Amino acid sequence: MRHTLPLAPQFYVTAPQTCPYLEGKVERKLFTALYGDEARTLNNSLSQQGFRRSQNVLYRPSCPGCNACMSARIKVAGFTPSRSQRRILKRNSTLHRQVKAPWATEEHYELFQKYLNSRHADGGMAGMDIFEFAAMIEETPVMTRVVEYYERDETGEDRLIAACLSDVLEDGLSMVYSFFDPTLENRSLGAFIILDHIHMAQESGLPYVYLGFWVPGSPKMAYKSRYRPLEIFHGGAWQELENPDSFSATDHPLDTDPVAEQVAAIHLPATPE
């Protein structure tokens, strides 16, 4: 009799550091390497369990005494744009999309730097050089695409004004990182990119758009709750977020499972026969 065994990645925990979302908190991540022939299978499985990809690493928060950071995904079948979201789509109706292989260009990097300097000058990516940027885009062992958005200027030339690095999962699109021209604030380009990913997922028959982490109490993450229906990965399962304003994550030290128990609870895919 033949048996299939689960993939057996090794999990590690980062050292505590200052939390970028909640004041006075420390952040720690549970992570594993992503490589080899089964990288896509592992990425699909762990993404469905609240993990996120960054280059060749899958991670999710494992913070002592805090479980505020929760993976979020939009259920695209039930999504209907709000009045303000319809206005955003209309304002950006002149944009045209190009979907390309994950290859970094100087045009990408210039737009990325412009975006960082305006929006996240004191963030963890500040000072990233072009080689580090290229690694962020190109070092991927899974199906990844760069989604570009162009607008034609008065001379007839196409100008890149927004881009998003996205993974194609078996059950959705996972938005890894997006950036855009910060001088076009009235265009709400960040929101438009999300709305367009919902449209792409609907066209492709994919049920979800993964948004990364939603953090109640963090103003910079509040925008994610505007895309409904929204599911969050909480308590080891996906659940629909009914009322974002009334939701609060617990921060009692006993409410966070030890790392060994967190790892033991992860469901790993079986290796093919």
Q: What is the pLDDT, as a whole number, of residue 1?
A: 39
Q: Is residue 172 over pLDDT 90?
A: yes
Higher pLDDT among residues 171 and 21, named by residue? 171
Q: What is the pLDDT, as a whole number, of residue 72?
A: 97
Around Cβ 5, how many Cβ atoms within 10 Å?
A: 8
- The mean pLDDT value of the chain amounts to 91
Domain 73-246 matching CATH 3.40.630.30: the answer reads: yes
C-beta separation of 160 from 107 below 8 A: yes
- Distance (Å, rounded) from C-alpha 205 to C-alpha 256? 36
Average pLDDT over residues 60-71: 90
Give percent of the chain with pLDDT exceeding 90.
71
Q: Characterize the bridge pairing of strands 144-152 and 96-100.
A: antiparallel
Average pLDDT over residues 223-242: 94
The domain locations on the chain are 11-69+249-264, 73-246
Average pLDDT over residues 226-253: 84
Around Cβ 57, how many Cβ atoms within 10 Å?
A: 16
- Distance (Å, rounded) from C-alpha 122 to C-alpha 117? 8
> Look-up: residue for tokens 């979302």?
21
- Distance (Å, rounded) from C-alpha 64 to C-alpha 257? 9
Q: Which residue stretches of the chain are H helix? A: 39-47, 83-91, 106-119, 130-138, 189-204, 259-264
Reported pTM = 0.93
Q: What is the pLDDT, as a whole number, of residue 119?
A: 80
Which two structure tokens, joined as six digits, stand for 135? 């690694």
Q: What is the pLDDT, as a whole number, of residue 8?
A: 81
Q: What is the pLDDT, as a whole number, of residue 106?
A: 97
Higher pLDDT among residues 117 and 74, named by residue? 74
pLDDT digits (tens, 9 = 90+) for 135-146: 999 999 999 999
Q: Is residue 150 over pLDDT 90?
A: yes
Cα Dmax for the chain: 69
Q: What is the pLDDT, as a whole number, of residue 62?
A: 93
